[in-house]
Amino acid sequence: MHDTAQHSAGQPADGEQPEQLTEEERLLRRRTRRIDAYRKAERTLARLEMLAPLRERLALLDGVEEFYDLDEPGDLYGNGVVEALEEKVAALLGKEAAAFFPTGTMAQQVALRCWAGRTGNPTVALHALAHPEVYERDAFREVSGLRPVQLTSEPRMPSADEVRGFPEPFGALMLELPLRDAGYLLPSWEELTELVAAARERDAVVHFDGARLWDTTVHFGRRLDEIADLADSVYVSFYKSLQAFGGAALAGPRTLVEEAKTWRHRYGGAVFQQFPTVLSALAGLERELPRLPEYVTHARVVAAALREGFAQAGVAWARVFPEVPHTFDFQVWLPYGVDEVSEAAIRQSEETGRALFVNPWDEKGPGLSMTEVYVRAAALEWTAEDVRAAAADFATRLPGIGG
């Protein structure tokens, strides 16, 4: 997502020359103003740790001695506290073993490279909107010798029929759960099991890009280990939902994980010491993981209230997608330009102390913009009426309604 518009506050007085800014300068000013307003806001739907000052980030480690012995020596190249985290993740996901990685990009390349060696086929079937296709600069191809092929580019999950009918062999099926760029979408449990079965029929292994797999238990109505059991291997992130400093894990058969650790070293992922990041991941598993179902449930309340608030305010068209969120993140679409909705969102934060839309807006077509809404612990303080009122107040700052 991007910020591209100049705000209306602080315009030059009569007779003064307007300040000339490059597009990059405008973007930076917009972002700075947006984040500053968010940090100062008294109420928001999510307090995102990644946007907090360093002093607050370090406070995440306060109290970690409750679940890890800080008298233990620090980790060296993946032992000690790193191994403790790996064992915990493997148990949560019901897998034989797990390996910690500094990034998910590395973890997934290693996983699929190892599977390619076992299947003899480096082709990976995935969605065109999957993270490696959109955000990783062709790393599968350029770094790991993998060959990604796209099952579909439609903004939905791929179907079992598309897996069965794909016109060439592939060694692995990679499913992003949830599919972030399509709206944090998930299949139904029946659709997911059929997708996996279709891959098995083609003698392909199944790998879950589960960066946000932690968020899926409410939608599927299953425990984490039941969900992960469908896949041969699973990648999970520690910062996207659990608010850790960073890091990822790959879980699967012990032989695969042992080989993955060898490739982790070769890829430069055998970091000397990682205890701050690992301790923050353990903190996330202890403190945030048990609360995620509550966030998902409340996200549905927030989504419904946003729709109602826009309708009551007279917004001609608005879309919350999915209508019933599959996780605690979802999209909001409005028929206005990025400049207009960005300014409305920032002004609301600055003037009312309520930061309803804290993420940047993306242009999705002429006069059409989309933003992502995150619902976390801070949102639990908002009732449905609070959200409806905030949505209506936001709308008054839009052209043609009040702004």
Residues 6+ apart with CB under 8 A from 236: 89, 93, 210, 211, 213, 214, 248, 249, 251
Q: How far is CA 55 from CA 49, 62, 66, 217, 238, in A?
A: 11, 12, 21, 33, 20
Dig out the tokens for 121 from the structure: 């086929």
* pLDDT at 266 (0 to 100): 97
* pLDDT at 16 (0 to 100): 55
* pLDDT at 335 (0 to 100): 96
Dig out the tokens for 311 from the structure: 């309708």
H runs (alpha helix) in 59-144: 81-93, 104-119, 131-135, 139-142
Question: Token match 């600069």: residue?
Answer: 137
Residues 6+ apart with CB under 8 A from 257: 96, 97, 98, 99, 250, 251
* pLDDT at 287 (0 to 100): 97
* pLDDT at 242 (0 to 100): 96
* pLDDT at 401 (0 to 100): 78
pTM of the model: 0.93
Instruction: Return the axis-axis angle of helices 338-352 and 384-395, rounded to nearest 10°.
Output: 120
Secondary structure of residue 118 in the 3-state scheme = helix
Mean pLDDT, consecutive 10-residue stretches, the chain (403 aa), reads 42 58 88 92 92 89 96 96 98 98 98 98 98 97 98 98 98 98 98 98 98 98 98 97 97 98 97 97 98 98 98 95 98 97 96 96 96 98 98 94 66
As beta bridge partners, residue 320 has: 332
Q: Report the run of H or E that residue 36 belongs to, with start and end.
A: helix 23-40
Task: Give the pairing type, strands 368-374 and 172-176.
Answer: unpaired
Instruction: DSSP letter for 153, please.
Output: -
The count of C-alpha atoms lying within 13 angstroms of the C-alpha of 268, restricted to the half-sphere facing its C-beta, is 3
